[in-house]
Amino acid sequence: MLATLSRAFGLEGLDSASSDPSADTRAFQSLLDHELGSRAPQLLCCSFTDALARARDSHQLLLVLLHSELHEDNDAFIRDTLGSEEVGRVLSEGPFAVWGASVLSREGRRAADAAVASELPFMGAWLATSPTASKHECVGRSTGNAGPANAAQFLSAVRSRFEPKLAERRNDILAREQNRILRDDQERRYREIQEQDMQRMREAEAAEAARAEEERRRAQAEADAHEARQLASVVETSLQQQIEEEAEAALARLPAEPAEDAAGVAVVRMSLPGGTVLERRFSSTDTQQAVRDYAAFALHRMGVTRFDGFTLGSRAPDKTLRRADDAQTLEEAGLFPTARILVVVHRPADAAEVAKAAVEAGRAAREAAGAAAAGASLSRSGRIASSGSVGSADEDAVPFQRRGGGGSSD
């Protein structure tokens, strides 16, 4: 009967060159399901090698069932033994993974050769301990149809003997996995702590660099302020000296004041800043430069010394006295016989600003060129000299002014 079923399910004379190893076990599973129904053991439908690997990974014993459709005990082995309640109960309690095939199939012959199955039907228990099939161990064999009681006793004996070993190995693997997880966690925490330490170190270095930069800037600002104060004092002293020298020169150039009743007398009324009005007599042949010199001397005498230059404007006649016309006589300039002159003083000069500009320019030059202190000092000295020079590009400014451009315009 089973031989007929085997032919129906393709078990007899299976092609040994089949490219699908799982086809052999699927054919056997179909036969068991048809014959035993719900009592049929469930096989691993894969190759013998894959079945060993699955049993190893799941920490189970692999029960290998080998049969032959042509063997006289095949019917009883399947119906009475594999379908018995005793064998079913032991298999359900584990720890068994079941695989089987006909020895007439390629995978069945491979398993039979590995188990050295000399008699059929065959039940063998395999302890899968290595990924390599050649290193697996067949730890129990039952050959022939021993009946359901003996088969159940065989399976129970194998389970009693090797289940503790499986449990021990399972616990070892679990312990190794836990140790690996713990080690990975420790390494992760160590890396995190290292990164946190490195981050704190970087932040500390950045904070120290910022503090040092702030200290450097503060010290530089203090040094610049001190240098500016020193330069301002030098500039102020130099400019005051120049102003005094120019005032003295202007006084020396002034012509003598003629008598009131002298012929050709020109009377000049000069309004200074602050409301002071001065009056002086000049000769009609004196030049406009004489009026400018008088204005310069008058400003110095009145204590008006902090300015960038002044402009002379005439109210009668209404015009600005240009320096280009300073060689004209008062009569030629229209300032005879009388003239009213307004002295307009330009913005007061600030020696501190001059000194600050010189310091900033000197620092910029040092940073750009990397010049030595001596060279930077020479550069600053040159700027002081140009800042405190007498005279102006503006032709209408008095000679002793601090900066160019402070003179009068036409």
Inside any domain, residue 126 = yes
Least confident of 211-220, 355-364, 367-376, 398-407: 398-407
Is pLDDT at 4 greater than 60 in this prediction? no
Mean pLDDT of the chain: 82
Last residue of a domain, one of 116, 146, 176: 146
Inside any domain, residue 394 = yes
Inside any domain, residue 180 = no
101 & 218 share domain: no
114 & 220 share domain: no
* Structural domain boundaries, residue 360: 186-410
* Mean pLDDT value of segment 177-192: 92
Range from 159-173, 224-238, 260-274, 358-372 that averages highest in pLDDT? 260-274
Inside any domain, residue 155 = no
262 & 313 share domain: yes
Inside any domain, residue 153 = no
Task: Give dist(CA 31, CA 375) in Å, integer.
Answer: 106
Is pLDDT at 1 greater than 50 in this prediction? no
Interval 271-318: pLDDT, tens: 998 889 999 999 999 999 999 999 999 988 888 766 667 889 887 678
- Binned at pLDDT 50, 70 and 90, residue 105 comes out as very high
92: domain CATH number? 3.40.30.10
Least confident of 8-17, 30-39, 132-141, 353-362: 8-17
Interval 334-357: pLDDT, tens: 999 999 999 998 866 566 666 667
231 & 284 share domain: yes
110 & 204 share domain: no
136 & 254 share domain: no
79 & 219 share domain: no
22 & 102 share domain: yes
- Binned at pLDDT 50, 70 and 90, residue 50 comes out as very high
Is pLDDT at 370 greater than 80 in this prediction? no
3-class SS letters over the chain: CHHHHHHHCCCCCCCCCCCCCHHHHHHHHHHHHHHHHHHCCCECCCCHHHHHHHHHHCCCEEEEEEECCCCCCHHHHHHHHHCCHHHHHHHHHCCEEEEEEECCCHHHHHHHHHHCCCCCCEEEEEECCCCCHHHCEEEEEEECCCCHHHHHHHHHHHHHHHHHHHHHHHHHHHHHHHHHHHHHHHHHHHHHHHHHHHHHHHHHHHHHHHHHHHHHHHHHHHHHHHHHHHHHHHHHHHHHHHHHHHHHHHHHHCCCCCCCCCCCEEEEEEECCCCCEEEEEEECCCEHHHHHHHHHHHHHHCCCCCCCCEEEEEEECEEECCHHHCCCECCCCCCCCEEEEEEEECCCCCHHHHHHHHHHHHHHHHHHHCCCHHHHHHHHHHHHHHHCCCCCCCCCCCCCCCCCCCCCCC
Count of structural domains, the chain: 2
